[in-house]
């Protein structure tokens, strides 16, 4: 399996372990397989048996082997067994699927160490990084950005690992107290938290600027854990497979997925799974007030917003107005035209966006790729949290509530069961939960005392050079 950049116009394809440690491609694009592996009925039947008899970690090893041919299969099995284990994950199923109401299910992605779906990829990434760095005798400096859960998931996955240093950028004051406590409460020598004076998109721009500085990147061995890293999407493909298996009995049954998203990473993994031949009907994009993606799928206009035009909402992990992973989908949508993709995302996005409204590729995108979309605002998510809690006895976090609201609104148009992918546990968003239900969510025993821990974080201006200086000093 070889990989190319979305902006690649002739460079030599790269291997998995080379792109694992690199993050962005040298040309600024994102890596994708030269072609997606195709699933057969026999493969699906085999995977169903593997999940049901051996468990999630064994299924993960099977899926990864389709994308990774430069790590021995036995080593991959050991890596996934370490990444997806109980009680590291609170459920032995790792990703349980339960029925919320007829036709609407929840894929529980928040059973991991930080109670967020990001754990699903990060726990694997930590194992892969440590394995490959040891094999090469190298070190890695990870520079990442988070709007909420990526940071804590990455830091819990990387803390204490040999040869790895983590610099994580957060938008100052934009995360919930629990999210801040999870990250800033860590006092590991290889973890450095940075509160940047800006919003998430500013943090992400700084990460991209650092990655684009080839000399600095090479000198400090800069890598990425954000969803620009292909290995994260590869890991997320696994839970689309496992959720489909748990929601069906035969291979001819299809399901749809509704995914709360701002950066288009989680649902991009669903796009890849669907392209591989997993029986997925519709992929529903659920946004909050920052509805750049919903606007695109409704109109064909991708209109990015400035930091000042990015709303601060009660589903903060989706407060994003430039979706990094969207480039991967548009690359596929445009027939893998790397030159055009480079123009759209390397130039047009910097100028405010682009439109595919009149492009034939957009006209049949819903039929070819299964996408639909919808938007949820604060009043919607609060009402959904309250109603689901009162009537069904289930407490949703605000992002998952956005997904449930959008899934319900589109359900009459869809003939298949919809699995809404959970984002996090409600404890991370106590203020919104209290507004919706009248009381704050209970803190699970595994997080007892987290709010009282001493904080470790550095304040920096919105300036890539300032972050570079810190990396030079602390790496």
Residue 114 contacts residue 193 (beta carbons within 8 Å): no
Is residue 405 among the annotated active site residues?
no
Number of neighbours of residue 408 by Cβ within 10 angstroms? 18
**Contacts of residue 247, Cβ cutoff 8 Å, sequence gap at least 6:** 97, 105, 253, 255, 417, 419
Q: Say how far apart CA 68 and CA 63 lie, in whole Å.
A: 9
Catalytic residue among 77, 118, 217, 375: 118
Q: Say how far apart CA 133 and CA 260 lie, in whole Å.
A: 33
Task: Supply 227's token pair.
Answer: 């969803």
Burial 444-454 (b: 16+ CB within 10 A, else e): eeebeeeeeee
Residue 252 contacts residue 277 (beta carbons within 8 Å): no
Q: Say how far apart CA 33 and CA 1 lie, in whole Å.
A: 7
Task: Supply 41's token pair.
Answer: 């009925």
Could you write out the three-class secondary structure of the chain?
CCEEECCCCCCCCECHHHHHCCCCCCCCCCEEECCCCCCCHHHHHHHHHHHHHHCHHHHHHHHHHHHCCCCCHHHHHHHHHHHCCCCCCCCCCCCCEEEEECCEEEECCCCCCCCECCHHHHHHHHHHHHHHHHHHCCCEEEEEECCCCHHHHHHHHHCCCCCEEEEEEEECCCCCHHHHHHHHCCCCCCEEEEEECCCHHHHHHHHHHHHHCHHHHHHHCEECCCCCCHHHHHHHHHHHHHHHHHHCCCCCCCEEEEEECCCCCHHHHHHHHHHHCCCEEEEEEEECCCCHHHHHHHHCEEECCCHHHCCCCCCHHHCCCCCCCHHHHHHHHCCCCHHHHHHHHHHHHHHCEEECCCCHHHHCHHHHHCEEEEECCHHHHHHHHHHHHHHHCCCCCHHHHHHHHHHHHHHHHCCCCEEEECCECHHHHHHHHHHHHCCCCCCCHHHCCHHHCCCCCEEECCCHHHHHHHHHHHC
Catalytic positions are: 118
């Amino acid at each position: 399996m070889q990989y190319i950049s979305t902006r690649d116009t002739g460079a030599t394809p790269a291997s998995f372990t080379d792109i694992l440690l690199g993050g962005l491609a040298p040309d600024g694009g994102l890596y994708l397989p030269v072609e997606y592996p195709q699933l057969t009925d026999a493969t699906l039947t085999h995977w169903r048996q593997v999940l049901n008899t051996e468990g999630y970690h064994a299924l993960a090893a099977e899926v990864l082997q389709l994308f990774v041919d430069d790590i021995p299969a036995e080593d991959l099995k050991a890596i996934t067994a370490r990444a997806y284990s109980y009680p590291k994950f609170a459920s032995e199923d790792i990703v349980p699927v339960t029925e919320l109401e007829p036709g609407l299910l929840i894929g529980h992605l928040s059973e991991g160490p930080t109670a967020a779906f990001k754990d699903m990829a990060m726990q694997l990434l930590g194992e892969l990084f440590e394995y490959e760095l040891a094999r090469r005798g190298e070190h890695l400096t990870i520079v990442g950005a988070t709007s909420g859960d990526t940071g804590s998931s990455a830091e819990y996955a990387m803390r204490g690992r040999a040869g790895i240093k983590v610099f994580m950028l957060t938008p100052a004051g934009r995360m919930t107290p629990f999210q801040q406590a999870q990250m800033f409460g860590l006092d590991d020598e290889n973890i450095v938290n940075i509160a940047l004076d800006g919003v998430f998109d500013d943090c992400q721009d700084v990460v991209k600027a650092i990655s684009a500085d080839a000399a600095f990147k090479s000198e400090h061995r800069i890598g990425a854990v954000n969803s620009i890293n292909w290995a994260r999407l590869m890991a997320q493909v696994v839970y689309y497979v496992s959720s489909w298996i748990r929601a069906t009995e035969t291979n001819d049954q299809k399901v749809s997925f509704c995914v709360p998203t701002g950066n288009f990473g989680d649902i991009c993994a669903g796009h890849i799974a669907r392209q591989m031949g997993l029986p997925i009907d519709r992929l529903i994009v659920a946004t909050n007030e920052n509805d750049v993606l919903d606007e695109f799928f409704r109109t064909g206009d991708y209109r990015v917003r400035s930091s000042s035009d990015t709303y601060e909402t009660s589903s903060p992990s989706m407060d994003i107005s430039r979706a990094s992973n969207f480039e991967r989908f548009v690359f596929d949508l445009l027939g893998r035209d790397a030159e055009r993709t480079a123009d759209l995302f390397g130039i047009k996005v910097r100028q405010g966006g682009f439109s595919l409204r009149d492009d034939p590729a957009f006209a049949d995108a819903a039929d070819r790729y299964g996408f639909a979309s919808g938007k949820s605002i604060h009043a919607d998510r609060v009402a959904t949290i309250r109603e689901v809690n009162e009537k069904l006895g289930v407490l949703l976090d605000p992002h998952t509530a956005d997904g449930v609201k959008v899934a319900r609104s589109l359900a009459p148009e869809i003939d298949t069961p919809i699995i809404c992918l959970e984002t996090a546990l409600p404890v991370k968003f106590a203020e919104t939960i209290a507004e919706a239900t009248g009381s704050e969510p209970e803190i699970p025993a595994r997080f007892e005392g987290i709010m009282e821990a001493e904080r470790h974080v550095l304040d920096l201006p919105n300036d890539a050079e300032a972050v570079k200086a810190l990396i030079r000093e602390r790496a």
